[in-house]
Amino acid sequence: MGNCQETEEVFGLTPMPWEVKFSFLGTIIPLVFISIVVVIATALSEPAELSEVAVIFGVILSIVAVLCGLTPTAYILGSEGVEIIRRFAPPVLLPYAWIGNVYLKQFSSQPRAFFWLLPTHGTWVYFGRIKVAGLGSIRVYATSWEKEMVVLETDRGPYYLSPAEPVRFYETLRSRLSPH
Q: What's the whole-number average pLDDT of the chain?
A: 79
Q: Is the pTM of this model over 0.75?
A: no
The answer to whether the beta carbons of residues 151 and 139 sit under 8 Å apart is: no
Each residue of 88-139: pLDDT tens digit?
A: 888 999 999 999 999 999 876 666 554 444 434 444 557 777 777 778 778 8
Flag the least confident range among 56-65, 71-80, 88-97: 56-65
Cα→Cα distances 106→29, 110, 139, Å = 33, 10, 16
Task: Give, to the nearest 10 degrees, the angle between helix 18-45 and helix 50-69.
Answer: 160
